[in-house]
Amino acid sequence: MDTKITIAELLAAKHQSRKVAAVSCYDYTTAKIVAQTEVQMILVGDSAAQVMLGFDSTLPAKMDFMVAITAAVRRGAPNVFLVADMPFLSYQVTVAQAVKNAGRFVVEAGAQMVKIEATGAHLDVIKAVSNAGIAVMAHIGIRPQSITKTGRFKAEAATAEMAAELVSLAEQMLNNGASSLLIEGTAAEVAEIITQRSGVPVIGCGSGPGCDGQILIAPDILGLTQGPHPKFAKSYGNLADQTIDAFDTYGKEVQSGKYPDKEHSYHMKRGELERLEELLKNKP
């Protein structure tokens, strides 16, 4: 990707009915690979707390950690549209703190947009961050940071009443300055209605094909994750098995002495070994 993707390109894609492919990834190496593909957007999600650090929820992700990995992703993918995830308690305490933390992602990590898991209680945060000149992606539907309150996640907007509430919430987000929406775990029919009624790009995560774009986490796409997966998670590779085979083969070669061999070792210049042996022989 030779030119940097901006919000203008994403808006143009929406108006021209071109889908946006987004990936959630968390490190320089993966980002550098993603940057060589047709993917237009990277979200550095707080799901890094689970995928990278092994926690059972996104809640332990801290601001300093998120800023650091977002900056790493930006270095790996300088031209992909970059969204940074505002972690738990980075925007819920005060509006001023929310603006300051959002600004850190822009100034320190090169993010072009921040994502906020939002309810009606966060409209003032959405508005303040947007008024500060920072683009906001409002995350509605299933909100992983609410796990301690809900106990478990289930598909959103399964009834007409719930759907109407979510449609209204989406409109409130837009009215308060959201530049994009992310809809997670929501009935496909409702996500499509919200997308059609929104003038901004709407990215779906397990919310059906009617959104302007889709996002999956990189480890799921690559087939690196093991164990239960969300219904919507589709793997496009099977790298877990290949990775296990690679590590296993490496372990066996080290143990058998096959690795490292001559080809994978550094060597002295011609004649220098003999000189060294003479030096050591004559050493008192």
Please tell me the distance from the alpha carbon of residue 238 to that of residue 175, in angstroms, as a whole number.
Answer: 43
List beta partners, residue 85.
115
Q: At what angle do helices 123-131 and 160-175 cross, to 10 degrees?
A: 30
Q: How far is CA 61 from CA 41, 47, 165, 232, in A?
A: 21, 8, 29, 24
Residue count (the chain): 284
Please tell me the distance from the alpha carbon of residue 181 to that of residue 135, in angstroms, as a whole number.
Answer: 11
From first CA to last CA, the distance across the chain in angstroms is 63
Give the DSSP H or E segment for 183.
strand 180-184
Catalytic-labelled residue, pool 38, 161, 171, 184: 184
Number of Cβ within a 10 Å radius of residue 164: 13
DSSP for 237-267, please give it. Answer: --HHHHHHHHHHHHHHHHHHT-SS-GGGS--
- Catalytic: 272? no
Residues labelled catalytic = 184
